[in-house]
Chains A and B, each alone.
Chain A
Amino acid sequence: MTEVLRIDLPNESVAHFKEIASVLLALSRVFSHGGESLDKTLPMMVKTCHQLGEYYPELLSMSAELENHSLLNEIEQQQLCFEFNRLFIGPTPPIAPPYESVYLSQDQLVMQEQTVKVRSLYQDENLMVISQGKNPDDFMATELEFAAYLLRNADKEAMQNKGLNRLKYYELYTEFSQEHLRKWLPKFVERVHQKANHPVFPMLMDVLLCTIELPLQQRRNV
């Protein structure tokens, strides 16, 4: 049985859930819309990072660098797209397949026990993957969208001042992050760092790892 502990968070940190969720959602869109839409999704990434950077200066420097690399001409954008597909999509064997079970399952395949576990978490929230059975539930874009959803709800709860409820989505995020995101994303990020041929992708990875930690960092601060 999962237990949720009541911890009081400082008021100012609660407000950040919304901004953190926005970054995670922007990251989700980077992966769901693919390399062909980086001209749209990267600026959104930068924007959300800037917003969150007001509270976390380390993100400001990351987003500034990211911004430098997101203002690209057409040819550079195309090169970025090719690199995105080489890293994450294919048709060549992708360097860093964006699926949790590839990193955590014994068999290093898609559609493994991790996929079932996140599906179960989605179902607990009355949610399911739009193309369930066709696309692995533990696809990075889906997990990040779910994480964003949890944090957005945590923020809403906090705004509604529902007392105990305020922590429930935060705790759910914590659990999801500890059981899933934090377990596999570092391995995923490592592959990107090692093999990426364009600096924007390691930067994105840095933002990703940093952002998923922020809500947990708040707890540690407490």
Chain B
Amino acid sequence: MMKISRRQFLGATAAVTAGAGLFSFEMLTKLDPASAAADNSETKQFRNVCPRNCYDTCGQISFVQDGMLKKVDGDPKHGYTNGRLCVKGYTYTRRVYSPDRIKYPMKQMPRGSGNWTRISWDEAMDTIAKKILDLKKRYGSTLPICFDKYSGNFGILHYAADGTMSSIGYTTRAVGTPCWPAGIDAQTYDFGTLYNNDPEDMVNTKYLILWGQNLAWTAIHSLPFAQKARENGAKLVVIDPILTSTASKADLYIQIKPSTDGALALGMARYILDNNWVDWDYARANSVGFDEWIDYLKNNVTLDWAASKTGVPKEIIMEIAREYATSKPASMWVGYGMQRHTNGGQNVRIIDALGVMTGNVGKSGGGVNYGQLETWGFNYGAMSYSAPKGSRGIVGANGKEGDRSININNFAHDVMAQQDPPVKMLWLACRNPGGQDPDTHAIEKMFASMEFVVSVDSFFNKTVQMSDIVLPATTHFENWDVNASYWHYWIGINEMAIQPMYESKSDLEIAMLLSKKMNALEAGSCTYPTSGSEQEWLAKEFNAALNASLGISNYKELSNGPRKVKMPPAAWSDGKFRTPSKKIEIHSNQAEKNGLPALPIWVEEMKAPEKYPVRLMTPHPQLGLHSQFQNLDWMMAANPEPKLEIHPNLAAKYGIQEGDKVKVFNDLGDITLKAHLTRTTSENVVVSYEAWYNKSNYNVNYTVKAIPSDMGKQATGNNGLAFHDNFVDLQKV
């Protein structure tokens, strides 16, 4: 027996390999030395930004070895996220390399059957382009094509999906935002726009009220700033119908009846007024209608009323009113959940007024903080392409033809209501209406009525299930982009860290590919460019003003680290409000013109109907973000199934015990899930977190009606959704 070493062996095989050309390779090819050299085991680092619909928009560092993403960590140069990620952010390698990813363009025949065929990108583009041209020919316009995009990826180059639609003609567009429009309008009426203090400035506060805000789950990177403020002596108060993780960390937790936040703020305001803790100088100098509101308080609000309305004891209202008014500065952070009511926007306006009356607006360590879009000064070139010449659209108020708008928050019904021409095709990008829109049964019906549905996604979900063609989307590690936050002031570049897996493509690549096909089939049918690298497109998103605000001369400098937009730490510190009067409008003519109260006065909350006496709240979960993340293996291991959180007293009424299956229903639909008895929720409120679980049809929106919130159309085009004004009954299964 003789032994040979591997070195000897390899040397001997080279000659044989030289003859490998005779072998019929399809998967393998001759080694490219350059590729092999580049693919060494040295770890490379790239800058990325989490593009999810989240306050934190984390700066990330991706670690790549052998062309593979090995680890994702926080970017230490990011001053807000400070080198850390949330539990979702640390799972990214599992998202990128999940075997469940959608890998190729796929066609389903017929839609909803589960019968999928793999097709080439060329066939996909050909099928889609021909359908667009066919509809255009049949109806004389591209209005039968409806586009719905929202927050699956907030990267600026992903607005190329919007550009795709603009460049083929005038189309039907889902307009609005499901998440936060009532609050946006409230702050628009009051201040001229939404604009929060730099969250890092939170350390300077002496008193912090988190109003319906669960930062421990949804904005974890703000927690260190809040904790720092506490170390400096600040008191942390959490007001929420649910005893959240954040509430458990607070100095004082107040369990409020849902949708009565305005009543609590009014009660506080009355007590502040009665004790003359009002900052009269600030309020009168900077606002209009303040004294009118003071009269309202005197004539209409009592502490007893506020206590009765909110379920918060009078003594507690007095305590937090005194502390909030006398701690200087004091800060409030208004969460998005609290405005998802039929009086949600109005409640935010009342809280705004509370901030004004105590002189906390425009102050470092203060503010009524909701969100901001001040830092989003990009060119939006990827979406800015005009319709081909001769395109027909809807004649708008300006007399010009344009897109047809429908309400994103009543999507199913609005799509089906269109008649001239009807909607026949859907294009879904960064959006999963099958999982996230209210009234899922109506969504299913609407999808079934379509001739053709295209979705672009990374994972199979309810919307993909109802599509004719699904196009595989890249993850953010596989394309270039730039991202801003709607909370902190940082902007970061997102570098391409790894090659796009399988045949996935970005929205930008898809836009160019479709344009190429459209023009090949019918010259001039699409105005979207057909070439350009992602980095070339990225460069076009920057302008002199943005560069100056970031202190850079070229976007490439962001590869050295994210930059913070140069703005004062306190929003509105210059006193230049953007309302018609240029002052804070406690009395808002604009609100009145829109059929709302001019003043921040109490508007009754939606009451539970007799038939459905229990409120079902469906807040954001800890381990997912809408229909993202919860499907991943780690999340499924940690949180394998949805649960219904129910107060023991309410459970007893229905004979429900821990672990029992419970049917939650109303006249719209039902869901069945396991009961978890807990006193974290109040007696007439059950809670189930909105999420999409892997291989599960669980969807809270089967029971959620498309009831509009009170505000949103002024600034976002349509009112929001009263997701939390959802009433049900229960039945032990």
- Please report A residues at the B interface, Cβ cutoff 8 Å: 1-6, 25, 28-29, 32, 34-36, 78, 81-82, 85-86, 89-94, 97, 99, 102, 107-112, 115-116, 119, 122-130, 132-135, 139, 141-142, 145-146, 148-149, 152-153, 156-157, 164-165, 168-169, 171-172
Contacts A85-B116, A109-B94 hold; do A93 and B36 have CB atoms under 8 A apart? no
Let me know if B16 and A133 touch, CB within 8 A. Answer: no
B97 interfacial by beta-carbon distance below 8 Å: yes
Residues of A within 8 A of B451 (CB): none
From B61-69, B335-343, B609-617, the one touching the partner chain is B61-69
Can you list 25 contacts pairing A with B, beta carbon distance less than 8 Å?
A2-B6, A4-B3, A4-B4, A5-B3, A6-B1, A32-B27, A86-B114, A90-B100, A90-B460, A91-B470, A107-B97, A110-B97, A123-B31, A124-B13, A126-B31, A127-B28, A127-B29, A128-B32, A128-B36, A133-B68, A139-B27, A152-B23, A153-B13, A156-B16, A169-B16
B24 interfacial by beta-carbon distance below 8 Å: yes
Q: How far is the CA of A139 from the CA of B702 in the complex (A)?
A: 39
Tell me how far the C-beta of B421 lies from the nearest C-beta in chain A, rounded to whole angstroms: 30
Let me know if A102 and B102 touch, CB within 8 A. Answer: no
Contacts A35-B118, A128-B31 hold; do A108 and B633 have CB atoms under 8 A apart? yes
Q: How far is the CA of A91 from the CA of B460 in the complex (A)?
A: 6
Residues of A within 8 A of B116 (CB): 82, 85-86, 89-92
Contact of A99 among B29, B99, B102, B498 (CB under 8 A): B99
Contact of A35 among B5, B117, B470 (CB under 8 A): B117
- With both beta carbons as reference points, the residue of chain B lying nearest to A139 in the complex is identified as B27
Residues of B within 8 A of A36 (CB): 117-118
B106 interfacial by beta-carbon distance below 8 Å: yes
B724 interfacial by beta-carbon distance below 8 Å: no
B39 interfacial by beta-carbon distance below 8 Å: yes
Q: How far is the CA of A168 from the CA of B118 in the complex (A)?
A: 39
Let me know if B695 and A89 touch, CB within 8 A. Answer: no
What per-residue 1/0 map shows which CB atoms of B1-27 lie under 8 Å from chain A? Answer: 111111001101110110110011111
Tell me how far the C-beta of A157 lies from the nearest C-beta in chain B, rounded to whole angstroms: 7
Q: How far is the CA of A82 from the CA of B117 in the complex (A)?
A: 6
B30 interfacial by beta-carbon distance below 8 Å: yes
B500 interfacial by beta-carbon distance below 8 Å: yes
Contact of A97 among B19, B99, B501 (CB under 8 A): B99
B398 interfacial by beta-carbon distance below 8 Å: no
Within B94-114, the residues touching A (CB, 8 Å) are: 94, 97-104, 106, 114
Q: How far is the CA of A146 from the CA of B17 in the complex (A)?
A: 12
Residues of A within 8 A of B460 (CB): 90-93
Q: How far is the CA of A81 from the CA of B3 in the complex (A)?
A: 48
Identify the 3 closest CB pairs spanning chains A and B, nearest first: A97-B99, A93-B100, A109-B97
Let me know if B13 and A125 touch, CB within 8 A. Answer: yes
Residues of B within 8 A of A130 (CB): 26-29
Contact of B31 among A91, A94, A127 (CB under 8 A): A127
B151 interfacial by beta-carbon distance below 8 Å: no
- With both beta carbons as reference points, the residue of chain A lying nearest to B28 in the complex is identified as A127
Within B454-500, the residues touching A (CB, 8 Å) are: 460, 464, 470, 498-500
Q: How far is the CA of A156 from the CA of B98 in the complex (A)?
A: 40
- With both beta carbons as reference points, the residue of chain B lying nearest to A124 in the complex is identified as B10
B502 interfacial by beta-carbon distance below 8 Å: yes
Let me know if A85 and B28 touch, CB within 8 A. Answer: no
Residues of A within 8 A of B276 (CB): none
Residues of A within 8 A of B104 (CB): 89-90
Q: How far is the CA of A133 from the CA of B25 in the complex (A)?
A: 18
Contact of B28 among A86, A107, A122 (CB under 8 A): A122
Interface centre among A29, A36, A128, A152 (most CB of B within 10 A): A128
Chief secondary structure at chain B's binding surface = loop
Tell me how far the C-beta of A164 lies from the nearest C-beta in chain B, rounded to whole angstroms: 7
Contact of A127 among B1, B30, B39, B67 (CB under 8 A): B30
Residues of B within 8 A of A4 (CB): 3-4, 6, 9
Let me know if A90 and B102 touch, CB within 8 A. Answer: yes
Tell me how far the C-beta of B733 lies from the nearest C-beta in chain A, rounded to whole angstroms: 27
Q: How far is the CA of A178 from the CA of B102 in the complex (A)?
A: 31
- Please report B residues at the A interface, Cβ cutoff 8 Å: 1-6, 9-10, 12-14, 16-17, 19-20, 23-32, 35-36, 39, 66-69, 93-94, 97-104, 106, 114-118, 460, 464, 470, 498-503, 633, 694-695
Let me know if B100 and A34 touch, CB within 8 A. Answer: no
Q: How far is the CA of A6 from the CA of B8 in the complex (A)?
A: 14
Contact of A85 among B1, B29, B106, B501 (CB under 8 A): B106
- With both beta carbons as reference points, the residue of chain A lying nearest to B478 in the complex is identified as A134
Q: How far is the CA of A198 from the CA of B457 in the complex (A)?
A: 29
Let me know if B498 and A145 touch, CB within 8 A. Answer: no
Tell me how far the C-beta of A43 lies from the nearest C-beta in chain B, rounded to whole angstroms: 17
Tell me how far the C-beta of B26 lies from the nearest C-beta in chain A, rounded to whole angstroms: 6
Residues of B within 8 A of A85 (CB): 106, 116-118
Interface centre among A3, A29, A132, A172 (most CB of B within 10 A): A132
Residues of A within 8 A of B16 (CB): 153, 156-157, 165, 169
Residues of B within 8 A of A110 (CB): 97-99, 501
Let me know if B29 and A126 touch, CB within 8 A. Answer: no
Q: How far is the CA of A32 from the CA of B28 in the complex (A)?
A: 12
Let me know if A127 and B20 touch, CB within 8 A. Answer: yes
Let me know if B99 and A102 touch, CB within 8 A. Answer: yes
Q: How far is the CA of A157 from the CA of B98 in the complex (A)?
A: 41
Let me know if B14 and A6 touch, CB within 8 A. Answer: no
Let me know if B502 and A135 touch, CB within 8 A. Answer: yes
Interface centre among B12, B26, B35 (most CB of A within 10 A): B26
Residues of A within 8 A of B501 (CB): 110-111, 134-135
Interface centre among B36, B118, B470 (most CB of A within 10 A): B118
Residues of A within 8 A of B98 (CB): 109-110
Tell me how far the C-beta of B467 lies from the nearest C-beta in chain A, rounded to whole angstroms: 9
Interface centre among A111, A156, A172 (most CB of B within 10 A): A111
Contact of B29 among A32, A89, A128, A134 (CB under 8 A): A128
Contact of A164 among B4, B20, B26, B106 (CB under 8 A): B4
Residues of A within 8 A of B100 (CB): 90, 93-94
Tell me how far the C-beta of B90 lies from the nearest C-beta in chain A, rounded to whole angstroms: 13
Let me know if B31 and A32 touch, CB within 8 A. Answer: no
Residues of B within 8 A of A128 (CB): 28-32, 35-36
- With both beta carbons as reference points, the residue of chain A lying nearest to B29 in the complex is identified as A130
Tell me how far the C-beta of A110 lies from the nearest C-beta in chain B, rounded to whole angstroms: 5
Contacts A82-B117, A149-B20 hold; do A107 and B94 have CB atoms under 8 A apart? yes
Residues of A within 8 A of B694 (CB): 93
Residues of B within 8 A of A127 (CB): 17, 20, 25, 28-31
Contact of B118 among A1, A34, A116, A146 (CB under 8 A): A34
Let me know if B502 and A134 touch, CB within 8 A. Answer: yes
Tell me how far the C-beta of A112 lies from the nearest C-beta in chain B, rounded to whole angstroms: 7
Contacts A34-B118, A130-B29, A169-B13 hold; do A149 and B3 have CB atoms under 8 A apart? no
Let me know if A149 and B35 touch, CB within 8 A. Answer: no
Q: How far is the CA of A132 from the CA of B28 in the complex (A)?
A: 9
Let me know if A1 and B5 touch, CB within 8 A. Answer: yes
Q: How far is the CA of A82 from the CA of B115 in the complex (A)?
A: 5
- With both beta carbons as reference points, the residue of chain A lying nearest to B15 in the complex is identified as A165
Q: How far is the CA of A78 from the CA of B31 in the complex (A)?
A: 37
Residues of A within 8 A of B503 (CB): 134
Contact of A165 among B12, B28, B30, B633 (CB under 8 A): B12
A116-B66, A164-B4 are known; give 19 further A-B pairs, CB within 8 A. Answer: A2-B9, A3-B4, A82-B116, A90-B104, A90-B116, A92-B460, A102-B99, A107-B97, A110-B97, A110-B99, A126-B20, A127-B17, A127-B20, A134-B500, A149-B23, A149-B25, A149-B28, A153-B16, A153-B23
